Amino acid sequence: MEQERILDLMNKVKSGDISPQEAVLSLKMQPFEELGYAKVDHHRELRHGIPEVIFGAGKTIPQIVGIIEALKRRGSDYVLITRLAPERAEELCSQLPVSYDPVSRIAFFGKRKEPSSSGFIAVAAAGTSDIPVAEEAAVTAEALGNRVVRLYDVGVAGLHRVLSQMDVLMTARVVIAVAGMEGALATVIGGLVSCPVIAVPTSIGYGANFGGLSALLSMLNSCAGNVSVVNIDNGFGAGYLSSLINRIGEAKNEASS
């Protein structure tokens, strides 16, 4: 872990094993590692609490393997690889011990985090067709050590379906609302709960959906003040952000107890 490496460096300065100038040089060299095709950010976990995540689309398998190995050398316990097609995941699995979820298209290398928060994240998907994006959010949040409750096929075409889940929604610390078509689910949930709602527009819908643009604009124009919006089909961004919010909520709970 980068924090442990820096503490070790500071202790060496304190004990006189290395000079302050040597420590400064070491720190200057630590932020990223140059691989030629990538600059691996080794201080990401120190800054964010979460190691660098690999966006798999567009990268070759040797490049992904190289980045994983660089992160592993510097003490990362786990690495997420997003947007990895099944056939490329099969190739990656033949070279490294990674697990792969074909629905979310997320591969995972290393030790999985156990849920460390008393609060949980609810992931609500309007329709079954929205599940791949919802699963990207849910799997990301789980991989980052959060408890996740899934509520699928609860779109506003049958409002009673989402209303039947009020006990879950009103006790969640964060809700991720995933919807295509007109994207109304986020506003409906936002008007029912007091926690932050992260809206994820999807590209699911008929022609006038414009590949998710109509859902995006509907969510951006939400009249619910607790709704924020990520980009079209960005389940990863929603899962990542929900983890940060959940972690802040847990820290506040611990401070007040």
Range with the poorest average pLDDT among 20-34, 194-208, 211-225:
20-34
Look at residue 116 in the predicted model and tell me its pLDDT.
Answer: 75
CA distance 122 to 124: 6
Q: At residue 2, does pLDDT exceed 80?
A: no
Q: Measure Cα distances from 212 to 21, 128, 140, 175, 209 in Å.
A: 53, 16, 21, 20, 5
* Dihedral in degrees, nearest 10, Cα atoms 59, 65, 68, 74: -130
Tokens 């949980």 sit on residue: 120
Decide if 155 contacts 187 (C-beta within 8 A): no
Helix, strand or coil, per DSSP, at residue 39: strand
Q: At residue 240, does pLDDT exceed 80?
A: yes
Backbone angles phi, psi at 57, to 5 degrees: -65, 130
DSSP calls for 49-98: SSPPPEE-TT--HHHHHHHHHHHHHTT-SEEEEES--HHHHHHHHTTS-E
Q: At residue 223, does pLDDT exceed 80?
A: yes
Give the global pTM: 0.83
Summarize pLDDT for 99-145 with one digit per residue, the tens.
999 999 999 998 777 777 788 999 999 999 999 999 999 999 999 88
The domains of the chain, with CATH numbers, are: 31-110 (no CATH), 120-256 (3.40.50.1970)
Residues 6+ apart with CB under 8 A from 31: 41, 42, 43
Q: At residue 76, does pLDDT exceed 80?
A: no
CA distance 66 to 69: 5
Grade residue 29 by pLDDT with cuts at 50, 70 and 90. low
Structure tokens at 23: 């420590």
Q: At residue 57, does pLDDT exceed 80?
A: yes
CA distance 191 to 227: 9
The total of other beta-carbon atoms located within 10 Å of residue 217's CB is: 14
Look at residue 24 in the predicted model and tell me its pLDDT.
Answer: 67
- Which amino acid is it at 74? R
Summarize pLDDT for 30-46 with one digit per residue, the tens.
677 667 877 777 767 76
